[in-house]
Structure 1
Amino acid sequence: MNFFVERFLGGKNGAIGLAILAALILIILPLSLDLFRLNLVGKYLTYAFAAVSLVLLWGYGGILSLGQGVFFGLGGYAMAMFLKLEASDPESTAIQSTPGIPDFMDWNQLTELPWFWVPFEHFWVALLAILIVPSVFAFIIGYSMFKRRVGGVYFAIITQVIAVILTVLIVGQQGYTGGINGITDLKTLNGWDIRLDSSKYILYFINAFLLLAVICISRFILTSKFGRLLLAMKDKEDRVRFSGYDVSNFKIFIFCVSAVIAAIGGAMFTLQVGFMSPSFVGIVPSIEMVIFAAVGGRMSLIGVVYGTLLVNVGKTTFSETFPELWLFLMGGLFIAVVMFFPNGLAGIYEKYASKIGFLKRLQSNGDKAAGKDALEQKAELEGAK
């Protein structure tokens, strides 16, 4: 039991923080929000997967990726391809020139399903693709970069360029990807209608439980020997290398892990929202994911979830209340956090929690001193008698 608490939950404090987060997203929010707002929160929680992946990659590994939207999108498109094929059965597409293929392919005069779409007729293929495709893509990028000791700002720029290239590729190949509109009109998952209100509730809870599981697995990675080496690499990479460790392999591994976590979030986004488009793949969503991690605290697995929720709730609220000014308000929020709270929400919590703990210790020491004085006074009175 102690092993589980220490390695998967991060000790007593980590378990308490995870329990509070679980109570919030599993009990408080579902009971206090209507379905529309709860579905919005579910969408925000899918972004939290990418923010958690950045804690591993950026917070502990010191590797800033400005292309996490790429892996988020790969996971989302893998799920969307299966859902679209299920929604494109010959009966539902009988009015098309070529029944049995997605509508956007028919619009672009394709007469048969492309070869790389065919395996996605099976759900298990889509699940494997969500895990394997992003990890293989991340391995290729990581191996090419880290083996040549490319890092820092250069790696960040390269990942940003990759996000641009993939976005252009998706938009340009409209007949195969749906183009700028993406893959839409997704209806069922193995015959289960994901558009029903009851389905949206179920998907929300699946999404929340998956997020909590990913946090626990990430905590296990960070509390292992690998996690300690990862943190050491961030601070003193050359010292770790001179100690006989292959730093590049560690970087490749954590980059692949972060890619898979972001891809799971993308797949859940597709199920939660009902579509996937290139607007969630490019530079803007990738930078927003970095902002989520920065606001929540890039060293805190739980803090980034709160950061994701705060930023997206602010984005929604500002855009609804001040449609002409909300971008300036969001920019002001980001600047204020970076300037006054560089460690994010987690840093604020640690700061005030440490103060409260210090005050409690002072009070405890004062009580002990007062008790000691009372005993000494009592002994003096008894001696006088």
Structure 2
Amino acid sequence: MNFVYEKLMGGKAGFTGFVILAVLILLVFPLFLDVFRLNLVGKYLTYAFPAVSLVLLWGYGGILSLGQGIFFGLGGYAMAMFLKLEASSPENTAIQSTPGIPDFMDWNQLTELPWFWVPFESFTFTLIAILVVPAVFAYLIGAAMFKRRVGGVYFAIITQVIAVILTVLIVGQQGFIGGINGITDLRTLHGWDITSDSAKMIFYYVCCFLLLAVVVVGRFILTSKFGSLLLAMRDKEDRVRFSGYDVSNFKIFIFCIAAMFSAIGGAMFTLQVGFMSPSFVGIVPSIEMVIFCAVGGRMSLIGAIYGTLLINFGKTTFSESFPQLWLFLMGGLFIAVVMFFPNGLAGIWQSYSHYITGPLARLKSSLIKGPAARGAVKLSEDVG
């Protein structure tokens, strides 16, 4: 029990924050929001996966990646390819010149399914690919960079360049992966209508549980010896290297973990929104993910989720209410948080959480002492 409380929950403050987050996304939002708004919140929560991954990678590891959109997009495209193949059955595409292939392939005069699409006819393979493909890609990038001790601003710029290259590559492959339009018109999952209200509700809860699981896994990593080494590498990398540790392997490992977390978010985005396009792979979404992490607090897994929700709620509210000014208001919101709360929303929680945890601790103590006190009184009466 102590292992769960300390290692997975992060102690009293961490456990309280985790419970509050779980109650908010699993109970409060579904009770007070309609299906449309709840699906919108679900989309926001998919962005929280790469934000949480940046806490591990940037906050604790000191590795600023401006390319998390790469892995978000890879996970999203993997899921979109499976859904598109299901939607492109010979019966559904009978009017095409070549039935049985996605519509954009037919428009570009392809006559057969490309070889790299064929494995995505299997849902099991797709689920494995969502995790493995981004991890392998992250390993290749990490091994090429970290083995040569490339880090800091140079690594950030390189990841940004890779995001641009991948976006251009996707846009240029109109016939193979949909090009600028992306993969659209995704309707069913094993014959189940994913556009229905019930499906949107189920996907929302699946996304929430996966996000909470990612937070638990992240906390386990950070509270382990590896988490201590991450902090040591961030602050004194040379000292860790001189102590006999292979710093590059540790960096590659956490980069691959962050890639898998981001890819899970991309896959859930595809399921909840119903499409995937190169606009979620490039520089802009990757920088936004860094902003989500910074606003929430780059040293807090849960703070990154709140930062994601705050920025995206602000974006939606300002764009609906002030269509001419919303970009300026979003900039003002970000500047205000950074200026007045340099540790992000997590810093606010650290400063004022005792107002919540204190009463809860006293309530717990009274609940424990209450029965014991009544038992002592009864015992004294029996003895008397």
Same fold (TM over 0.5): yes
State the partner residue of 1:57.
57
Aligned identity (percent) is 81
Write the letter of the residue equivalent to 1:311.
Answer: I
User: Deviation digits for residues 334-381 of structure 1, max 9, x if unmatched?
Assistant: 112222211100012212336997xx9xxxxxxxxxxxxxxxxxxxxx
State the partner residue of 1:309.
309
State the partner residue of 1:241.
241
State the partner residue of 2:319.
319
State the partner residue of 1:90.
90
Write the letter of the residue equivalent to 1:253.
Answer: F
Determine the C-alpha separation between the residues in 1 that align with 2:307 and 2:88: 38
SS state of the match for residue 230, structure 1? helix
User: Deviation digits for residues 66-114 of structure 1, max 9, x if unmatched?
Assistant: 0000000000000000000000000000000000000000011101000
Determine the C-alpha separation between the residues in 2 that align with 1:27 and 1:6: 25
Write the letter of the residue equivalent to 1:10.
Answer: G
State the partner residue of 2:30.
30
SS state of the match for residue 302, structure 1? helix
SS state of the match for residue 298, structure 1? coil
State the partner residue of 1:205.
205
State the partner residue of 2:123.
123
Write the letter of the residue equivalent to 1:23.
Answer: V
TM-score scaled by structure 2? Answer: 0.92
The answer to whether residue 191 in structure 2 is matched with residue 196 in structure 1 is no
| 1:295–1:87 CA distance, 2 compared to 1 (3 A) | same
Gap regions ≥5 residues in structure 1? 361-385
Instruction: Answer yes or no: is the 8 Å Cα contact 2:13–2:353 preserved in 1.
Output: no
Matches within 5 A, 1:39-54: 39-54=39-54
Matches within 5 A, 1:1-385: 1-353=1-353
Q: In the TM superposition, what is the alpha-carbon distance from 1:302 to its structure 2 partner?
A: 0.5
SS state of the match for residue 353, structure 2? helix
Write the letter of the residue equivalent to 2:293.
Answer: A
SS state of the match for residue 96, structure 2? coil
Structure having the higher Rg:
1
What is the root-mean-square deviation in Å for CA atoms of aligned residues? 1.2
| 1:65–1:336 CA distance, 2 compared to 1 (3 A) | same
Q: In the TM superposition, what is the alpha-carbon distance from 1:232 to its structure 2 partner?
A: 0.8
Determine the C-alpha separation between the residues in 2 that align with 1:48 and 1:16: 19
Gap regions ≥5 residues in structure 2? 362-384
TM-score scaled by structure 1? Answer: 0.92
Write the letter of the residue equivalent to 1:328.
Answer: F
Write the letter of the residue equivalent to 1:44.
Answer: Y
User: Deviation digits for residues 99-149 of structure 1, max 9, x if unmatched?
Assistant: 000000001110100000011000011111101000000000000000000
Write the letter of the residue equivalent to 1:88.
Answer: S
Instruction: Answer yes or no: is the 8 Å Cα contact 2:76–2:263 preserved in 1.
Output: yes
Determine the C-alpha separation between the residues in 2 that align with 1:7 and 1:192: 39
Q: In the TM superposition, what is the alpha-carbon distance from 1:332 to its structure 2 partner?
A: 1.1
Write the letter of the residue equivalent to 1:197.
Answer: D
Write the letter of the residue equivalent to 2:31.
Answer: L
Determine the C-alpha separation between the residues in 2 that align with 1:146 and 1:4: 33
